[in-house]
C-alpha cells in the first residue's frame, strides 16, 4: 500500500480519527494520553501489506506466518493494544520495554512517554526487528531502540524499566523481567495458565509478583527459550481435540471411544445474556477442577454434531480415565436472547462428570460471579509450598503461579 496523493493522506487521517473514536466509544481507550497516541501514530505505515481500510480496522494484521501457515508475528488488534496501554498506566518520562516487536505498539508507547521517556522493543526474529525498524523510521520514531535478542533474558543494557509490556503469549515469567523492573514498576503480560490466556498486570510485592488486574486476551506464542507448546490429543480427526498445558497422563484411546458414546447432559439454572462475558467462569473452572484440559472443535457442521462446547476455540473440560465433560449452553428465549449454562459429557462416567461440572458452574454463580476477581501470585519456583498462598498452584519452569479467589 503506497500513499501517493493528498486524497490518500486525507483518507488515512480520517480513518485514524475514526478508529480512535471507535476505541473511545467502546471503552478500550480511557485516558487522554492513550487517545492522543492513537490519533497521532499512522498505523498504515506499520501495515504496508494491506489496504488503508484494513490498516485502520479494529482487527489484527498478520505480518508473518510459519511453514504451516500459522501466524508468528502480527500487528495486534487496536482494542487489545489500547487495553494493554491503559493497563500499563504509562506516563511521560517513563522508561519502557516492549517484548515482541511490530513497531506500531512501540510507537504508541513512545507517544505517551514523550521525548523525556525511552522505549526499547525486542524480538528474537531478525525479519520482525528489521521490519519494525523500517516502519518506526518511516513514522518518525527513530529514537525507539529496536533490539534483536531472546527476550527470555530481557534487555539489561537499557534497564531498569518503569513498565514492561509483553506482546507475545507466554507460559512463564522468567526471572530477568522482574529483575529489570524499576521500583514502582509493573509488568503487563499475556500469561497462559492451564491453557487459558489472561493479560495480567503484575506488581512486585516482597519477593514475588501479584496481580492488580487481568483480562482475557490471546497472542501469538513467544519463541525462543520461553516457548512451551501445548499438547493436542485429537478425538476425531481434525474435528475435535483436547488441549493440555501440562504433562498429565491420559488414555487417549479411551477418550476417543468416549466421544462415540451417547451424550449425557446436565443443566444448571445459571443464565446469562447475549454478549455477556463469562471468562471469569472459565478461570474459576481452571482453578477448581483437578483433571482439567480444554476442548476445541472445528467450525463445521460435522464437528458440531460431535461436540458443541461453549467456545469452539477452548472450553473447560473435566476428565476421568475414560470419560470427559465440558461446558455448553442453550438458548432459553430467542426474544430476550437469554442462555443457560450446562454440561455435556461422554463415556462410562458421563453422568457423574456432568454433575460435577454443573456443580462448579453453580458454585461460581453463587460465590464469585459478581465478586472480586481472582488474585494471581507468581513466586520463584524455589519457594516451598508452605510459604505459598492458598489456591490453585501451577508449577512452571521458573515460577509457581497461584490463583486464589477472595472469600473461597
At 172 the three-state DSSP class reads coil
Question: Buried (b) or exposed (e) across 76-92, using 16+ Cβ within 10 A?
Answer: bbbbbbbbbbbbbbbee
Following DSSP, what letter does each residue of 246-298 receive, concatenated? S-----HHHHHHHHTSPPEEEEEEEEEETT---HHHHHHHHHH-SSEEEEEE-
At 377 the three-state DSSP class reads strand
Q: Which DSSP category does 220 fall into?
A: P
In 3D, which of 95, 98, 113, 144 has the Cα closest to residue 37? 113
Who contacts 48 (Cβ-Cβ below 8 Å, separation ≥6)?
1, 2, 135
Strand pairing partners for 346?
Answer: 324
- Measured from the Cβ of residue 199, the count of other Cβ atoms closer than 10 Å reads 23
Q: Report in angstroms the alpha-carbon separations of 326 from 256, 298, 310, 404.
A: 15, 16, 8, 23
At 336 the three-state DSSP class reads coil
Q: Contact, 377 vs 404, CB < 8 A? A: yes
Q: Which DSSP category does 345 fall into?
A: E
CA distance 296 to 241: 5
CA distance 26 to 131: 31
CA distance 241 to 377: 30
Q: Report in angstroms the alpha-carbon separations of 39 from 119, 282, 316, 405.
A: 19, 35, 39, 39
Active site members: 73
Amino acid at each position: 500500500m503506497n500513499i501517493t496523493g493528498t486524497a490518500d493522506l486525507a483518507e488515512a487521517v480520517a480513518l485514524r480519527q475514526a478508529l480512535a473514536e471507535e476505541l473511545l466509544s467502546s471503552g478500550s481507550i480511557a485516558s487522554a494520553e492513550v487517545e492522543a497516541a492513537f490519533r497521532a501514530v499512522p498505523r498504515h505505515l506499520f501495515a504496508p501489506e494491506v489496504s488503508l481500510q484494513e490498516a485502520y480496522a479494529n482487527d489484527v494484521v498478520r505480518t508473518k506466518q510459519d511453514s504451516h501457515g500459522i501466524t508468528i508475528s502480527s500487528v495486534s488488534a487496536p482494542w487489545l493494544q489500547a487495553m494493554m496501554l491503559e493497563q500499563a498506566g504509562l506516563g511521560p518520562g517513563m522508561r519502557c520495554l516492549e517484548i515482541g516487536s511490530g513497531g506500531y505498539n512501540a510507537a504508541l508507547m513512545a507517544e505517551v512517554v514523550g521525548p523525556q521517556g525511552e522505549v526499547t522493543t525486542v524480538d528474537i526474529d531478525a525479519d520482525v526487528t528489521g521490519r519494525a525498524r523500517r516502519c518506526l523510521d518511516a513514522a518518525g520514531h527513530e529514537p525507539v531502540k529496536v533490539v534483536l535478542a531472546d527476550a527470555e533474558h530481557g534487555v539489561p543494557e537499557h534497564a531498569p524499566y518503569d513498565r514492561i509490556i509483553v506482546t507475545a503469549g507466554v507460559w512463564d515469567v522468567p526471572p530477568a523481567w522482574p529483575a529489570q523492573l524499576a521500583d514502582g514498576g509493573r509488568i503487563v503480560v499475556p500469561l497462559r495458565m492451564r491453557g487459558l490466556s489472561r493479560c495480567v498486570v503484575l506488581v512486585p510485592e516482597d519477593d514475588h509478583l501479584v496481580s492488580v488486574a487481568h483480562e482475557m486476551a490471546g497472542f501469538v506464542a513467544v519463541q525462543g527459550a520461553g516457548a512451551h507448546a501445548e499438547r493436542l490429543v485429537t478425538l476425531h480427526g481434525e474435528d475435535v481435540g483436547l488441549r493440555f498445558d501440562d504433562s498429565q497422563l491420559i488414555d487417549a484411546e479411551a477418550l476417543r471411544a468416549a466421544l462415540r458414546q451417547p451424550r449425557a447432559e446436565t443443566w444448571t439454572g445459571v443464565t446469562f445474556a447475549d454478549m455477556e462475558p463469562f471468562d471469569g467462569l472459565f478461570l474459576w473452572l481452571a482453578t477448581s477442577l483437578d483433571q482439567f484440559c480444554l476442548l476445541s472443535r472445528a467450525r463445521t457442521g460435522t464437528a458440531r454434531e460431535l461436540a458443541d462446547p461453549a467456545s469452539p476455540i477452548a472450553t473447560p473440560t473435566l476428565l476421568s480415565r475414560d470419560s470427559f465433560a465440558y461446558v455448553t449452553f442453550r438458548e432459553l428465549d430467542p426474544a430476550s436472547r437469554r442462555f443457560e449454562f450446562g454440561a455435556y459429557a461422554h463415556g462410562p462416567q458421563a453422568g457423574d462428570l456432568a454433575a460435577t461440572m454443573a456443580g462448579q458452574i453453580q458454585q461460581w454463580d453463587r460465590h464469585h460471579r459478581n465478586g472480586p476477581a481472582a488474585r494471581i501470585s507468581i513466586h520463584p519456583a524455589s519457594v516451598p509450598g508452605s510459604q505459598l498462598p492458598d489456591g490453585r498452584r501451577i508449577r512452571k519452569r521458573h515460577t509457581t503461579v497461584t490463583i486464589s479467589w477472595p472469600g473461597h
